[in-house]
């Protein structure tokens, strides 16, 4: 059952264009849900409506069956962690973390105990008497996280909290956030435009585009079975081909300019027929072998070596192609060469063209 429910949320600032357009979401208790999308897609506005900092134009927000839609932020038992930390520079770490407790008039003895618990949870028990200026960016973010959790919120909202950190520190904090979520069990709603963060931390991902929800699903489903072309292009590398399904062919698709390929017969049956977008992820392409029925010739333009893998970028009959190979490239794989690449029928995902 839904713990946090968004029902038909709409937010318009000018009465003409909807920044958030009819968003409905059911979020389970203890779930880690990520709102993912490009800048301006409506994900942060949705988060701010949950927090109470923005008022919906239409729609409702319910938490454990109670209507929060018109309640003020301080009337909601919801924690918020911002990208810029928002720590008080004149307060020590301990006083920053204790601030929500003082505002809620927690007994002083309970404040000290609770602050100690939270600082141990985020690994900063020895930093209680330091000031924010004496901490690294990652440590400041941990303080902000402890402050968001210290009063036992029903929901913790996180608005791109790792965006200001460097790559290494960001990856460390992703692991820490997952650990803390597992230990505390609080419902978390996380906003990011970073698909790697969404894939590695989430129980489910809600993909936003132009104020609307494109898909809500577990990370691997969003990656391998995107519901729309936008989702397939936004998350991960992709190869897209336009094609036509013949419902009488038993699993064949005619790709524009590339000829017939074999696809999953069940997927073709579900679609029925007509135009489709065919998605093949770069890591599913490989140099042609006898067991792979779908082959195309690719002229290699660029090879990008990542050390543990190689991204091969080229062209097949006017279609851009990307192939990712593990390890070092073979002798045949060089810039300017033409190779035959292939994939199996089950490696192609079919999306009805709209």
User: Which pLDDT does position 290 carry in this prediction?
Assistant: 65
Task: Count other Cβ atoms within 10 Å, centred on residue 312.
Answer: 25
Q: Are residues 176 and 243 in the same domain?
A: no
243/202 same-domain check: no
Residue 120 inside a domain? The answer is yes
Q: Are residues 244 and 332 in the same domain?
A: yes
Which residues on neighbouring strands pair with residue 340, listed in sequence order? 297
Give pTM, 2 decimals. Answer: 0.91
* DSSP per residue, 100-115: HHHHTT--HHHHHHHH
Domain limit, last residue, from 167, 196, 229: 229
Residues 71, 200 within the same domain: yes
Predicted pLDDT at 173: 86
Q: How far is CA 269 from CA 242, 248, 352, in A?
A: 18, 9, 12
Q: Is residue 123 part of a domain?
A: yes
Q: Residue 29 and residue 308: Cα distance in Å, rounded?
A: 39
Domain containing residue 266: 239-352
Reading the chain (354 residues) residue by residue, the pLDDT tens digits are 799 999 999 999 998 999 999 999 999 999 999 999 999 999 999 999 999 999 999 999 999 999 999 999 999 999 999 888 889 999 999 999 999 999 998 888 889 999 999 999 999 999 999 999 999 888 999 999 999 999 999 999 999 988 878 888 888 889 889 999 999 999 999 999 999 899 999 999 999 999 999 999 999 999 999 999 999 999 999 999 999 998 777 788 989 988 889 998 888 888 887 899 999 999 999 988 767 889 999 999 999 998 888 999 999 988 999 999 987 777 778 899 999 999 999 999 999 987
CA–CA distance, 150 with 29 (Å, rounded to integer): 18
The CA distance from 291 to 268, in Å, is 21
Judge if 311 and 206 occupy the same domain.
Answer: no
Q: Where residue 329 sits, what CATH number does that domain have?
A: 2.40.50.140
Res 270: pLDDT: 86
195 is a domain residue: yes
Domain-terminating residue out of 211, 229, 247: 229
Together in a domain, 186 and 261:
no
Cite the DSSP H helix spans in the chain: 43-51, 93-103, 108-121, 137-149, 167-184, 195-201, 219-224, 229-234, 265-271
Q: What is the DSSP letter of 82?
A: -
Name, in order, each residue with C-beta under 8 angstroms of 3's C-beta and a sequence gap of 6 or more: 27, 28, 29, 30, 31, 63, 64, 187
Residue 234 lies in a domain: no
In this structure, are residues 175 and 159 in contact, taking their beta carbons and an 8 Å threshold? Answer: no
> How many angstroms separate the first and last alpha carbons of the chain?
33
CB neighbours of residue 68 within 10 Å = 23
Residues 6+ apart with CB under 8 A from 252: 245, 246, 260, 261, 262, 263, 268
**Max Cα separation, the chain?**
74
Q: Are residues 223 and 243 in the same domain?
A: no
Q: Are residues 112 and 256 in the same domain?
A: no
- CA gyration radius for the chain? 24
DSSP string, 281-338: -GGG-EE--TT--EEEEEEEEEEEE-SSEEEEEEEETTEEEEEEEESSPPTT--TT-E
Same domain membership, residue 283 and residue 172 = no
Residues 6+ apart with CB under 8 A from 204: 31, 32, 33, 34, 216, 217, 218, 219
Q: Is 207 helix (H, G, I), strand (E, B) or coil?
A: strand
The answer to whether position 219 is within a domain reads: yes
The answer to whether position 303 is within a domain reads yes
Please tell me the total count of domains within the chain. Answer: 2
Q: Are residues 75 and 190 in the same domain?
A: yes
Query: Which CATH number fits the domain that encloses residue 130?
Result: 3.40.50.300
Give a yes or no: residue 344 inside a domain. Answer: yes
Residue at which a domain ends, from 229, 262, 290: 229
Same domain (yes/no): 60, 36: yes
CA 98 from chain centre, in angstroms, equals 31
Residue 253 included in any domain: yes
- pLDDT value at position 162? 86
Tokens 């990652």 -> residue: 138
Same structural domain for residues 118 and 71?
yes
């Amino acid at each position: 059952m839904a713990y946090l429910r968004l029902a038909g949320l709409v937010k318009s600032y000018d009465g003409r264009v909807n920044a958030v357009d009819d968003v409905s979401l059911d979020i389970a208790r203890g779930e880690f849900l990520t709102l993912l999308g490009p800048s301006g897609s409506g994900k942060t506005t949705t988060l701010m409506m949950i927090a109470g900092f923005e008022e919906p134009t239409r729609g409702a927000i319910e938490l454990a069956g109670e209507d929060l839609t018109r309640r003020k932020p301080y009337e909601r038992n919801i924690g918020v962690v911002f990208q810029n930390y928002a720590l008080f520079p004149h307060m020590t770490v301990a006083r920053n973390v204790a601030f929500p407790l003082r505002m809620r008039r927690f007994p002083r003895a309970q404040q000290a105990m609770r602050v100690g618990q939270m600082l141990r949870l985020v690994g900063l028990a020895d930093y209680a008497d330091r000031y924010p200026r004496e901490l690294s960016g990652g440590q400041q973010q941990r303080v902000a996280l402890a402050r968001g959790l210290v009063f036992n919120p029903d929901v913790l909202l996180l608005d791109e909290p790792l965006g200001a950190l460097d790559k290494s520190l960001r990856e460390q904090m992703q692991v820490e956030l997952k650990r803390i979520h597992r230990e505390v069990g609080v419902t978390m709603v996380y906003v990011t435009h970073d698909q790697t963060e969404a894939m590695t931390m989430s129980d489910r991902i809600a993909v936003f585009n132009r104020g609307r929800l494109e898909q809500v699903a577990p990370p691997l489903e969003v990656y391998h079975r995107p519901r729309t072309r936008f989702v397939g292009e936004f998350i991960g590398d992709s190869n897209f081909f336009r094609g036509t399904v013949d419902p009488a062919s038993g699993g064949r698709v005619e790709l524009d300019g590339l000829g017939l390929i074999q696809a999953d017969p069940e997927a073709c049956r579900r679609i029925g027929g007509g135009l489709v977008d065919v998605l093949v992820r770069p890591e599913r392409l490989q140099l042609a072998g006898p067991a792979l029925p779908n082959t195309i010739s690719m002229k290699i333009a660029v090879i990008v070596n990542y050390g543990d893998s190689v991204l091969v970028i080229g062209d097949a009959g006017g279609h851009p192609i990307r192939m990712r190979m593990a390890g070092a490239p073979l002798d045949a794989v060089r810039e300017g060469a033409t190779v035959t690449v292939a994939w199996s029928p089950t490696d192609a995902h079919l999306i009805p063209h709209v």
